[in-house]
């Protein structure tokens, strides 16, 4: 008997038939005597539909009201999943994020978990019930419904596993594990049997859509190993856990692609640390993530900053930066087009020289120029022309020997 937390994404519960299939899968664990808590997302497409409906009423809807409407997507799914379990003889009860004791800060649309009590989940599990929890949502200390941002159901599942001391956390999705690259781009990408938190975090933050980066951070902080696997088959997935020495063999674990970046330039700035601090502190205060920063100083001594932000945050970044520039008394803001961010990730990079050389040689051979560059101990990211993104991923993947052997 084990305590298991399972998370099913929007595609896995996309329609009634798929919800019934999920219920059957849950029953197979419950039949063995396992205690099962399940976290579900809104059905595929529902969140986008709710956003579109809200914007048809108000072009710039209030974040609080958006949280109120978006939270209904997961609440529909928990009720349907519990009903599907009832229909096959499994006692089940649904719980919203608030009922599950997911307490967050007050930042609507991108709240962070402050405390997770688990509510009455353990008691209901001990009664032999399956508990179905709404992902993506919580409640603030002011008793306001909040949401955790896109991919927040992953975070709910990891946090719940930590709160109830689960023996196993399974993230069910529409892919059967973590791959060395997006299999839709690289047809011979390899499925990884295991990957460490550090690599998974860098892949997630670099554009891999398998896991939300905040959920990986939470798993690493609280030591929650988890498995990414498919809800459509019974094949083993990819285990994500703490780093082991045997996991350092590969120089590069994978290649990630993020198509949602826009290049921003702030020009004619005073070349002072106070000016840079004012800009980046303001962006951080308004939750605008910044990546791939380049600073140039012109002949007149004025500085130019070029960096990338998520495309859906450009309008917010422009407003924040223009407010700062007014206070500084100089400077200009310019959004100069979308870019694609291609990243290589691997803990082996720290002890293997020549990684950057291999990366840029692959890009040079493919005739692809890099516009922005950023690095960490286990990651190198380059900003390139979006039209050449797929070609770049394939070239880099092959250059590092990540292609799977051809089938015999």
Q: What's the Cα-to-Cα distance from 380 to each of 43, 92, 345, 361, 408, rounded to whole Å?
A: 35, 46, 7, 14, 34
Place of tokens 């402050």: 114
Mean pLDDT score of the chain, rounded to an integer?
A: 92
**What is the phi/psi pair of residue 106, to 5°?**
-100, 15
Q: Are 10 and 46 in contact (CB under 8 A)?
A: yes
Q: Give 339-350 pLDDT, tens digit per residue.
A: 999 999 999 888
Alpha-carbon distance of 228 to 121, in angstroms, equals 23
- Confidence category of residue 90, pLDDT binned at 50, 70, 90: very high
Q: What is the pLDDT of residue 193?
A: 93
Q: Cα separation of 56 and 29, whole Å?
A: 43
First-residue to last-residue Cα distance in the chain: 41
CB 345 within 8 A of CB 256: yes
Q: How confident is the model at residue 110 (pLDDT cuts 50, 70, 90)?
A: confident
pLDDT of the residue at 336: 83
Q: Which residue has the tokens 């380059």?
A: 382
pTM value? 0.84
User: How confident is the model at residue 221, as a pLDDT?
Assistant: 93
Instruction: Using pLDDT thresholds of 50, 70 and 90, give the confidence band for residue 406.
Output: low
The pLDDT value given to residue 150: 78
pLDDT tens track for 64-76: 999 999 999 999 9
DSSP string across 129-187: -EEEEESSEEEETTS-EEE--TTHHHHHHHHHHHHTT-SEEEEEESSSS-BSS-TTT-T
% of the chain with per-residue pLDDT over 70: 98
Residue 305: how many other CB atoms lie within 10 Å: 20
The CA-based angle 265-267-273, given to 5 degrees, is 100
- Return the residue matching tokens 């190198």: 380
Q: What is the pLDDT of residues 312-361, one digit of tens each?
A: 899 999 999 999 999 999 899 999 889 999 999 999 888 888 999 999 99
Whether the predicted pLDDT of 80 surpasses 50:
yes
| Residue of 363, 388, 384, 365 whose CA lies nearest to 374 | 384
**pLDDT for 199 beyond 90:** yes
Query: Considering only 124-133, 153-162, 231-240, 289-298, which range has the smallest mean pLDDT?
Result: 289-298
Looking at residue 376, what is its pLDDT? Answer: 87
pLDDT higher than threshold 70 for residue 248? no
| Residue 290 CB burial class (10 angstroms; 0-12, 13-18, ≥19) | middle
Which band of pLDDT confidence, cut at 50, 70 and 90, is reported for residue 133?
Answer: very high
pLDDT score for 408: 47
Residue 42 has pLDDT above 50, yes or no: yes
Highest-pLDDT range among 148-162, 207-221, 293-307: 148-162
């Amino acid at each position: 008997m084990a305590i298991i937390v399972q998370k099913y994404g929007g595609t896995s519960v996309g329609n009634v038939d798929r919800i019934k299939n999920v219920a059957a899968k849950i029953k197979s664990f419950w039949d063995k005597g396992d205690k099962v808590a399940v976290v579900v997302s809104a059905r595929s497409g529902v969140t986008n539909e709710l956003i579109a409906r809200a914007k048809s009423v108000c072009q710039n809807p209030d974040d609080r009201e958006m949280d109120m409407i978006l939270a209904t997507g997961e609440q529909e799914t928990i009720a349907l999943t519990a009903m599907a379990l009832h229909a096959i003889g499994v006692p089940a009860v649904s719980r919203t994020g608030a009922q599950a004791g997911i307490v967050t800060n007050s930042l609507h649309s991108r709240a962070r978990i402050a405390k997770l009590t688990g509510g009455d989940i353990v008691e209901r599990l001990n009664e032999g019930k399956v508990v179905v929890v709404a992902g993506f949502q919580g409640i603030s200390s002011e008793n306001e419904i909040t949401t955790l941002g896109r991919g927040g159901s992953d975070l709910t599942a990891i946090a719940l596993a930590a709160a109830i001391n689960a023996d196993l956390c399974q993230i069910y999705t529409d892919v059967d594990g973590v791959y060395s690259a997006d299999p839709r781009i690289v047809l011979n990408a390899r499925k990884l049997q295991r990957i460490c938190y550090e690599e998974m975090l860098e892949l997630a933050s670099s554009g891999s859509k398998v896991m939300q980066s905040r959920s990986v951070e939470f798993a690493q902080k609280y030591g929650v190993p988890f498995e990414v696997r498919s809800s459509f088959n019974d094949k083993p997935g990819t285990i994500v856990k703490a780093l082991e020495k045997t996991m350092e063999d590969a120089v590069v674990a994978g290649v990630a692609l993020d198509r949602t970046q826009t290049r921003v330039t702030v020009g004619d700035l005073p070349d002072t640390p106070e000016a840079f601090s004012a800009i980046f502190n303001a962006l951080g205060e308004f939750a605008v993530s910044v990546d791939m920063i380049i600073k140039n100083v012109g002949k007149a001594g004025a500085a130019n900053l070029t960096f990338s932000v998520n495309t859906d945050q450009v309008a917010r970044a422009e407003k924040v930066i223009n407010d700062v520039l007014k206070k500084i008394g100089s400077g200009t803001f310019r959004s100069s087009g979308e870019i694609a961010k291609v990243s290589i990730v691997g803990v082996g990079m720290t002890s293997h020289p020549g990684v950057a050389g291999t990366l840029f040689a692959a890009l040079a051979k493919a005739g692809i120029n890099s516009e922005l560059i950023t690095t960490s101990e286990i990651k190198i990211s380059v900003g390139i022309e979006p039209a050449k993104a797929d070609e770049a991923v394939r070239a880099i993947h092959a250059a590092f020997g990540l292609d799977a052997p051809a089938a015999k």
